[in-house]
Structure 1
Amino acid sequence: MTTLPGDLVEAAGRCLVLGFDGTALPDELKRLADTGLGGVILHTRNVAGRSELRSLTDELRALRPGLLVTVDQEGGGISHLARAGAPETPGNWALGVADDTGLTGAVADALARHLTECGVTVSFAPVADVHRVAANPIVRTRAFGADPVHAARHVTAWIEATLAAGVAPCAKHFPGHGSTTVDSHLGAAVDARDEQVLRETDLLPFRAAVAAGVPLVMTAHVVYPALDPAAPATLSRRILTDLLRTELGFEGVIVTDALEMKAIADGVGEAAAAVAAIGAGADQLIIARPDPGLWLRCRDALVEAMADGRLDPARVVEAARRVDALAERFAQPPPPSHSPVADIGLRAARRAIRWKPLPGPVLDPFVVDLHRPPKPALEWSRTDLVRVLREVMPGTDGVAATRDPVDVADVLRRAQGRPLLIATEDPDLHPWQAAVRTALLAGRPDALLIATGLPDAETEAADGLCVYGRGRANLRAVAEALL
């Protein structure tokens, strides 16, 4: 690595937010903390329990008191701290359906209070994306809705409650990931809509977030040709500096989504992207992959780029100063204050359910739960509806499937003489679910349909039960509705 003054090497270190494996700190992470590491991002793989997690976060701060400890804790199905007893919440779309900003704030408060107990002070939430395209595979129920004004109100409520709890919230994914048809974890994503449409829809929740004082904004690895045809937002000076900084007036920390996502890694590559993102105006780079070699390549790429003139050292120093200012406010968890509202997540999930009331309780049903597998990097475990219903109705039976084949004849045989429930999760995106449902309905037209994701036309036409999420709170609310 090229020799640079130590303060510039430390400034480059401030720009990194690193993920690691297991519940013990890797030696390379400790060494990087000694040379200015900005932060770490926790995942389910780092969590054994609440007390163990607090010991881990205390150990991290002992390495460097200004280290930011962060996590993706959106609620609903995206909860990396479930093993640490995180509150069960229904997810953003369900909160948008309930449409009570006080309720949204109470849910955000409960999640934030739990984070402070665990020693986590930065939450990469809320999702400020607006779900506008039916075929979008990645935002969906993570958004508060499809209407930008509606979403903006709930984004504001989430941010204000999280800040009040002493945790730094983060609005993501700027300038909006809700109108792509590709998941940027998996490939290049493009939003080809014109600039006026982008400004009238996707930018509104981010404007509201800035007005609410959000201290971090996360970038989208999405190309917006109307804004910058040459680069995804993460690498675009036009989007990060001209639009977010200058036009929207954002003065906090701009953090990238994970650089190892394929939209970046399969394009310019992580190390080159690190240089381009900081040059474009980003302040911190998430590298969630637990790969010390990758961490060092990205850090060293920043140092080399400063040494050979491709990256202005003043830009890196500016980024480091923003990170330090954030750490001054949020690196240390605040002391405990009030307790969150008890069972707020379940209360919210109950409020979100939409359904035609049943003539009586549905007891000991046979359940066919059709859903997609967990998304890598976001969902590390998922609970199926059969298991949750069995907790309250031990006589429940059924099958859970994440892909074909489902033995329809066997299901119909086993479900004889008992209520049949058919649950789907976004069958418009996963046609195998619709096919299984159609085959089951041919034999059991009396079956009750349940939508755990966004409901499709068939579920709505049948007055099915819609819960708008797959968090445990959503599925527990299904059990209550049946009873």
Structure 2
Amino acid sequence: MKDDEIPRLARGTLLPAFSGSNVPRWLRDELEQGLGGVTLFALNGNVPSQEALAALTAEMRKSGDPFVTIDEEGGDVTRLGGHLTASPYPGNAALGAADDPALTRRVYRSLGAELTEAGVNLNFAPSVDVNTADDNPVIGTRSFGSDPELVARHAAAAVAGTQEAGVAACAKHFPGHGSTVDDSHLGIPLVDADLDLLDRRDLVPFRAAIEAGTRAVMTGHLNLPGITRGVPATLSPAAITGLLRERLGYGGVVVTDALDMRGASGAIGIPEASVRALIAGADLLCLGPREHADTVTATLAAIVAAVREGRLPRERLADAAARTAALKQWLSGDTTASVDRAAGLEAARRAVRVSGTLPGWNGTPPLVVELESVGNIAVGPTPWGLGPWAPDSVRAEGLAEESGSLLERATGRGLVIVLRDAHRHAGQRALTGALLTARPDAVVVEMGLPVWRPGGAAQLATYGAAHANAQAAAELLGLAPAPA
């Protein structure tokens, strides 16, 4: 390999971000010089509409052949317009509750068809983490469930559906983020599991995704003391080369989770984290939403220096280039998949669980009280709740002292209390308890994971807060027309 080839191979590993819905000059220049691709973020203004996104991706392709990547999981983590209106597709928890792999495949095929129409060719989904920690702050409804075999069969279905639409799937967050109680955006979460437990739990869905032909796997910034010995998996040869490549036999592209996250670069910076990830065996480096031209320049310099100093073997860059080239060759195939949003609503309806008897409203709409719940960093400020179907709804902070005014407002009519992951929010539980003490006839709707269940009241669990989940709940509550 000639020295002048090193910068181009290094560029080919990078997935930076950018601001706005137009291609900036610096990005055109980098694409012309072989930049690997970009990662789109709704909060960067990259997705004002699906039509605008399609125009943006077409413009980028005039300057190169990039991977256009996005975090579009459906459900609570949505970028493809759902950040403005909530997703028409339920997330993985609802799909796991319905437990129909054929339906999961259909949902992901439709979601993939929408991405194809917008020019996105690599989707950072599905999340195949086995969510065994109720207090997990970052996975939750993004997981199909807590049973490895259930997660595995839906992981395979999601991969198949996505790739039938001509979009590369990316199973994440290897080797499994579901047992943690920390957020890798903020630190390095501990996965307290030896290899035997990983084999029986966390790795089961990854094996299924690999057997289903997933074209990419995303690493998590996770500390597995017995394997990575304090190093996050993203930067660990033992995790990527040893566990994923050699033990699981995976030969496709390895993508890092965003390297701006403190779990990866908090102590060393993004350029150095990029070098270490490549040494560990990663092929594509997701840099993060705020990492634009300056980060690309600094990271390229660090990678080139590492090669010339002998820290990063040239063959490792060539290997990454070969894997990404093979993926681009696969992406050149045709697809006949079409958008099928009815699949999303069908799945959401089948996921809902009702306990107790739901009351009627006798022609007077109930007061709908939605308790504030801020999404985690991955979810972002996505709309949620029953507001679009409720003639009278109010948001409450989740303080017990709010109960008096809310009860007064609900006098003489029904009361619906809408929660989201109440098991993680003491304020939601306190206010709900105060309301139910006075109004045991109220209905509780949980739009996160139904871990906490207040006694006595009729309850409805949607396993997600997407638009489809909310509509399914509204139908059962008589706030929206029932399906024909």
TM-score range for the pair, normalised by the shorter chain length: over 0.9
Residue in structure 2 matched with residue 393 of structure 1 by the alignment: none
Q: Report if the CA contact (8 A) 1:275-1:311 is conserved.
A: yes
Alpha-carbon deviation of 1:63?
Answer: 0.8
Residue in structure 1 matched with residue 345 of structure 2 by the alignment: 346
Alignment partners' CA distance in 1, 2:87 and 2:393:
27
Residue in structure 2 matched with residue 298 of structure 1 by the alignment: 299
Q: Residues 81 and 169 (structure 1 numbering): CA distance in 2 closer, same or farther, change over 3 Å?
A: same
Residue in structure 2 matched with residue 50 of structure 1 by the alignment: 50
Residue in structure 2 matched with residue 328 of structure 1 by the alignment: 329
Alignment partners' CA distance in 1, 2:399 and 2:438:
18
1:11 matches 2:6: no
Alpha-carbon deviation of 1:320?
Answer: 1.5
Q: Residues 436 and 87 (structure 1 numbering): CA distance in 2 closer, same or farther, change over 3 Å?
A: closer
What secondary structure does 1:423 align onto? strand
1:416 matches 2:415: no
Alignment partners' CA distance in 2, 1:142 and 1:323:
27
Alpha-carbon deviation of 1:87?
Answer: 6.1
Q: Report if the CA contact (8 A) 1:169-1:215 is conserved.
A: yes
Residue in structure 2 matched with residue 452 of structure 1 by the alignment: 447
Q: Residues 134 and 383 (structure 1 numbering): CA distance in 2 closer, same or farther, change over 3 Å?
A: closer
Alignment partners' CA distance in 2, 1:342 and 1:354:
21
Alignment partners' CA distance in 1, 2:193 and 2:449:
23
1:27 matches 2:28: no
1:407 matches 2:389: no
Q: Deviations over 1:199-226 (max 9, x none)?
A: 1000000011111110100000010112
Alpha-carbon deviation of 1:357?
Answer: 6.1
Q: Deviations over 1:251-289 (max 9, x none)?
A: 110000000012123232211110100000011110123
Alignment partners' CA distance in 2, 1:15 and 1:461:
55
Q: Report if the CA contact (8 A) 2:184-2:221 is conserved.
A: yes
Residue in structure 1 matched with residue 255 of structure 2 by the alignment: 255
Q: Which amino acid aligns with 2:305?
A: E
What secondary structure does 1:368 align onto? strand
Q: Residues 270 and 403 (structure 1 numbering): CA distance in 2 closer, same or farther, change over 3 Å?
A: farther
Alignment partners' CA distance in 2, 1:359 and 1:476:
16
Q: Kindly report which structure 2 residues correspond to 1:299-448, keeping only aligned pairs within 5 A, or say none.
A: 299-330=300-331, 334=334, 337-356=336-355, 358=357, 360-362=359-361, 364-385=365-386, 387-390=387-390, 396-401=391-396, 404=399, 407-448=402-443
Alpha-carbon deviation of 1:197?
Answer: 1.1
Residue in structure 1 matched with residue 287 of structure 2 by the alignment: 287
Q: Report if the CA contact (8 A) 1:370-1:424 is conserved.
A: yes
Alpha-carbon deviation of 1:463?
Answer: 4.5
Residue in structure 1 matched with residue 192 of structure 2 by the alignment: 192
Alignment partners' CA distance in 2, 1:178 and 1:433:
24
Alignment partners' CA distance in 1, 2:85 and 2:163:
21
1:166 matches 2:166: yes
Alignment partners' CA distance in 2, 1:127 and 1:14:
25
Q: Which amino acid aligns with 1:169?
A: A
Q: Which amino acid aligns with 2:345?
A: L
Q: Report if the CA contact (8 A) 1:14-1:36 is conserved.
A: yes
Q: Which amino acid aligns with 2:430?
A: A
Alignment partners' CA distance in 2, 1:370 and 1:149:
34
Identity of aligned residues (%): 40
Q: Deviations over 1:448-467 (max 9, x none)?
A: 11111011342476451000
Alignment partners' CA distance in 1, 2:230 and 2:301:
25
Q: Report if the CA contact (8 A) 1:221-1:257 is conserved.
A: yes
Residue in structure 1 matched with residue 481 of structure 2 by the alignment: none
Alignment partners' CA distance in 2, 1:472 and 1:85:
7
Alignment partners' CA distance in 2, 1:188 and 1:164:
35
Q: Which amino acid aligns with 1:76?
A: G
Q: Report if the CA contact (8 A) 1:17-1:284 is conserved.
A: yes
Alpha-carbon deviation of 1:297?
Answer: 1.5
Residue in structure 2 matched with residue 90 of structure 1 by the alignment: 90
Residue in structure 2 matched with residue 266 of structure 1 by the alignment: 266
Alignment partners' CA distance in 2, 1:460 and 1:176:
33
Residue in structure 1 matched with residue 475 of structure 2 by the alignment: 480
What secondary structure does 2:223 align onto? strand
Q: Report if the CA contact (8 A) 1:131-1:146 is conserved.
A: yes
Q: Report if the CA contact (8 A) 1:119-1:333 is conserved.
A: no
What secondary structure does 1:24 align onto? coil
Residue in structure 2 matched with residue 276 of structure 1 by the alignment: 276
Q: Kindly report which structure 2 residues correspond to 1:101-140, keeping only aligned pairs within 5 A, or say none.
A: 101-140=101-140
Q: Residues 474 and 359 (structure 1 numbering): CA distance in 2 closer, same or farther, change over 3 Å?
A: closer
What secondary structure does 2:73 align onto? strand
Q: Report if the CA contact (8 A) 2:419-2:428 is conserved.
A: yes
Alpha-carbon deviation of 1:194?
Answer: 2.5
Q: Residues 442 and 403 (structure 1 numbering): CA distance in 2 closer, same or farther, change over 3 Å?
A: closer
The more displaced of 30-39 and 239-248 is 30-39
Residue in structure 2 matched with residue 241 of structure 1 by the alignment: 241
Q: Which amino acid aligns with 1:35?
A: Q
Q: Report if the CA contact (8 A) 2:67-2:122 is conserved.
A: yes
* 5+ residue gaps, structure 1: 391-395
The more displaced of 150-159 and 224-233 is 224-233
Q: Which amino acid aligns with 1:447?
A: A
TM-score (normalizing by structure 2): 0.93
Q: Deviations over 1:434-478 (max 9, x none)?
A: 111112222222211111101134247645100010101111111
Q: Report if the CA contact (8 A) 2:219-2:257 is conserved.
A: yes
Residue in structure 2 matched with residue 79 of structure 1 by the alignment: 78
What secondary structure does 1:465 align onto? strand
* 5+ residue gaps, structure 2: 479-484
Alpha-carbon deviation of 1:404?
Answer: 4.8
Alignment partners' CA distance in 2, 1:254 and 1:211:
16
1:468 matches 2:480: no
Q: Report if the CA contact (8 A) 1:121-1:333 is conserved.
A: no
Alpha-carbon deviation of 1:342?
Answer: 4.5
